[in-house]
Chain A
Amino acid sequence: MVSPVAGHSPPPFFRRGPAPLVRLIVLVSAALTLIVVDHRLHYLELVRQGLSVVATPLQVAAGMPVKGVRSAGEYFADITRLQRENVELRREQTALGTIRLRQEQLDMENTRLRALLDMRERRQVAAQVAEVIYAVRDPFSRRVVVDKGMTQGIEPGSPVVDDIGVIGQVTRVYPLNAEVTLISDKDQALPVQIARTGVRAVMFGAGNGSLELRYLPTDVDVREGDRIVTSGLDGVFAPGLPVARVKGVEHDGSGGFVRILCEPIAGVEAHSTVLIMTPGKPVDPAAIAPAPPAKEAGK
């Protein structure tokens, strides 16, 4: 072998680019930079949108056989089940019809009363029905993907509910679909209140599909079976949507806070059709409080 002369090594026979260790260091530092930038600075949504142009066709192609098998299964579903479902749906529709008739009347009454009290009209919440396509396979979080996206006017932050209660919030919007973070995700927080007492709190995902009410003092009045509804303080979720039911209250006395475990009311982890609401503007206190008396205003 020829020894290198004063730093000059013989040219290589085969061009193989940089040494593996150099490549490793470059790529690892690139990946680490991406992780930090994505986690801390959230600058990468544009890159994600761009790469989703590659990933989305792959996802659609990958979803096809699964969808085919599922629809074939539905095609061969026994007719008695369908008939039973039909009867149930008819019954439900009749029940809902009577409620709707009453609601029209109540709505009119409500507008009259609000006009009488000089309160502002409550905002009508627009909503879109969407189908859950699949649950995201990332094992570290709980998210699902729905079949409505930017082209249908879905905005990030929109509340997502099913027919019983809240299931989550839209966190990422792609051109044709959107990603919904479920309320059972560890990072998902939701301002709520206990329906019986009106105590306000923040609800977090507990990790294993259940929910947890955090930061409540040990002497708080909460019992097993209490219903928990959204408080609407965030201005995103409408107030009064059912969220969860208290499953257990533990006073361990170590942290100064009580540990309240809840289970979601809505089928958070198992559902197919959901409703995506358009988020409202932050609640204006003047819209809720009655207007000051005319004498004060006249001064």
Chain B
Amino acid sequence: MNQPSFSSRRILRPVRPWFVALTLACALLLNLMPLGRTPLLPDWVALVLCFWCVREPLRVGMGAAFVLGLIMDVGYGSLMGQHALAYVLLAYAAGTLSRRILWFGPLRQSAHVLPMLIGTQCVMLAIRLATDAEFPGFMFFAGSVVATLLWHPISFILLLPQYRPENKDDNRPI
């Protein structure tokens, strides 16, 4: 199944706002899950937020990113505003690049997503190093690579409620 993009012929149903909120809440839950300090775990909130900012730039934007970032800061007990700043910048980049990214297929979309996620982590790294925290090692960035690999499956799952059945109707070509 090819992914719906501007260049594909699939037409999606409009997104339901509660579904967007639900997926963002689920991403928060996944992030707050106490799984220890494994660097391979992706930042689910950044991934899902990036997805909705690309897909629905008029519904999900920097305001939502800021609020989610603040909740993450409290949940992680990190410096207040660290995640908020990084997510706001991510949302801005994703929203601005949305028109461009949606012309590409899944692989090239991932190629756009990787620098954005790495950039988000770099913002956090810069903030924490400027405030005298320890450098966590380069495995810190592994989470973003895993998240990029998950971009295609995640976008398939998050778009599932918007797919319409493919029934061929000879009278209506679209």
Contacts and interface: CB of A to CB of B under 8 A. Distances in A.
Interface string B52-96: 000000100111011001110111111111101100110010011
Q: How large is the interface on B (under 10, 10 to 19, 20 to 34, 35 or more residues)?
A: 35 or more
A295 interface: no
B77 A20 contact: no
Nearest to B124: A140
Contacts, number: 133
A136 B78 CA distance: 9
Given A28-B85, A135-B37, A207-B134, A55 B74 contact: yes
A176 interface: no
A172 B76 CA distance: 12
B47 interface: no
A48 interface: yes
A215 interface: no
Contacts of A61: 29
Interface string A21-48: 0011001101111110111000010011
Given A23-B61, A58-B75, A187-B132, A137 B35 contact: yes
Contacts of B25: 58
A140 B78 contact: yes
Contact of B32 (A51, A59, A185, A187): A59
A31 B35 contact: no
Contact of A27 (B36, B39, B63, B80): B63
Given A35-B79, A141-B133, A62 B29 contact: yes
Given A35-B81, A137-B37, A140-B134, A59 B75 contact: yes
Contacts of B32: 55, 58-59, 62-63
Contacts of A71: none
B34 A143 contact: no
A63 B134 CA distance: 27
A46 B60 CA distance: 28
B77 A134 contact: no
Contacts of B85: 28, 31-32, 35
A57 B3 CA distance: 36
Contacts of B62: 20, 23-24, 27
Contacts of A110: none
Q: For the side of the interface on A, what is the size category?
A: 35 or more
B127 interface: yes
Contacts of A255: none
Contacts of A179: 77
Interface string B93-121: 00110000000000000000000000000
B121 to A, nearest CB: 10
A52 B39 CA distance: 25
Interface string B21-44: 000010011111111110101000
B128 interface: yes
A52 B69 CA distance: 13
B140 interface: yes
A59 B37 CA distance: 16
A6 interface: no
Contacts of B128: 140
Interface string A106-147: 000000000000000000000000000111111111010100
Contact of B134 (A52, A133, A141, A143): A141
A211 to B, nearest CB: 13
A245 interface: no
B14 interface: no
Which 6 pairs show the lowest CB-CB distances between chains A and B?
Answer: A134-B34, A34-B81, A31-B85, A38-B80, A140-B133, A139-B136
Interface of B: 25, 28-37, 39, 41, 58, 61-63, 65-66, 69-71, 73-82, 84-85, 88-89, 92, 95-96, 127-128, 131-136, 140
Given A28-B89, A62-B29, A207-B135, 15 more contacts: A28-B88, A30-B66, A31-B88, A34-B70, A35-B85, A35-B127, A39-B131, A58-B25, A62-B30, A62-B31, A137-B76, A138-B76, A140-B133, A141-B78, A207-B134
